[in-house]
């Protein structure tokens, strides 16, 4: 448990140092006054929590300070952590409750460069190590590199990969993969897709087609549609997620590249504005650095001591 906690502390080092480190001076020996509230609001907004979320937290903290009779700023730290944690959910992996879905189909979506293909491979390894029979579909037919990358992972982990030709029909690859996963008795099928800008109508329509075809191949699938968001993009990720959620019923998010981002506060905006649970978080480049999202570890990681 201590190793996991230290991984969160290390993975969120940049967010903590660039933005939340200012809390040390703000909360130091100061008394609670209007200057403190102004400074705290600035810190929260700069950490990419969003204006509305920051305003809600300040309102609640002011009420707590009045109710508890607090005068010293450092007495607010534990209450700030509680406020932040209350705005996030600890969500179990949907696969754990999917007793009747076999294979359990996960569709991975997102914009170009979000880390989707790498995350797909990391997920496959996590599930395989938990004793599940896993299959991957290389549905990004636009990039030969994406197909090759997943096939290398598949060979390394001894996980079958269903792939089409570069420039081929991604929906056909998805359909074939579902059929193959059923035939081979796979527990989990993870389908990678090509990165696409949410503003490109034709590409979003193609993604809708992939989603429909999966449902035709297996009733009720995909059981999970997860968007991989690049944490370094901060608030810009919200518009991306909103478009994908409307198009293909995204029901979960994975925050990639948290270790290289100073904008980890975006997690709170995702929870508030999109009502999307965060399922996994990327805390480093290694496969084992993809962690199940834990709100307590996340908040402790960005605030520190």
Q: Which residues are annotated as a binding site for GTP?
A: 110-117, 192-196
Two structure tokens written together for 229: 């968001």
Measure the CA–CA gap between 8 and 299, rounded to whole angstroms: 9
Residues 6+ apart with CB under 8 A from 248: 107, 109, 207, 208, 211, 225
Strand order in the sheet with 278-282: 161-163, 134-139, 188-193, 104-109, 224-230, 252-256, 278-282, 290-292
∠ CA 105-194-202, rounded to 5°: 110
Measure the CA–CA gap between 143 and 112, rounded to whole angstroms: 11
DSSP string, 132-169: --EEEEEE--S-HHHHHHHHHHHHHHT--EEE--TTS-
Q: Alpha carbon of 101 to those of 122, 158, 176: distances in Å?
A: 22, 23, 18
Binding-site positions: 110-117, 192-196
Asked if 233 and 48 count as a contact pair (C-beta separation under 8 A), the reply is: no
């Amino acid at each position: 448990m201590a190793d996991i906690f230290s991984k969160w502390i290390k993975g969120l080092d940049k967010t903590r140092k660039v933005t939340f480190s200012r809390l040390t001076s703000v909360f130091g020996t100061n008394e609670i006054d209007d200057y403190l509230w102004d400074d705290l609001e600035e810190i929260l907004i700069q950490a990419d929590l969003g204006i509305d979320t920051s305003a809600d937290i300040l309102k609640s903290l002011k009420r707590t300070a009045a109710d508890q009779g607090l005068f010293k700023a450092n007495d607010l730290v534990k209450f700030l952590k509680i406020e932040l944690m209350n705005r996030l959910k600890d969500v179990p992996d949907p696969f754990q409750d999917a007793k009747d879905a076999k294979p359990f189909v996960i569709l991975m979506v997102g914009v170009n460069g979000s880390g989707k293909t790498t995350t797909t491979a990391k997920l496959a390894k996590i599930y395989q190590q938990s004793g599940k029979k896993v299959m991957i579909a290389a549905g990004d037919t636009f990039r030969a590199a994406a197909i090759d990358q997943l096939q290398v992972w598949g060979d390394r982990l001894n996980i079958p990969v269903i792939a089409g030709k570069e420039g081929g029909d991604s929906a056909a690859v998805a359909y074939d993969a579902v059929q193959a996963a059923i035939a081979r008795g796979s527990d989990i099928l993870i389908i990678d897709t090509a990165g696409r800008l949410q503003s490109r109508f034709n590409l979003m329509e193609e993604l809708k087609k992939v989603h429909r075809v999966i449902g035709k191949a297996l009733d009720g699938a995909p059981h999970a549609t997860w968007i991989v968001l690049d944490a370094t993009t901060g608030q810009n990720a919200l518009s991306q997620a909103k478009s994908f959620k409307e198009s293909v019923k995204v029901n979960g998010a994975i925050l990639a590249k948290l270790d290289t981002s100073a904008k980890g506060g975006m997690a709170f905006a995702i929870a508030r504005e999109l009502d999307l649970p965060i399922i996994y978080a990327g805390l480093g480049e290694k496969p084992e650095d993809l962690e199940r999202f834990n709100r307590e570890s996340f908040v402790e990681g960005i605030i520190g001591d």
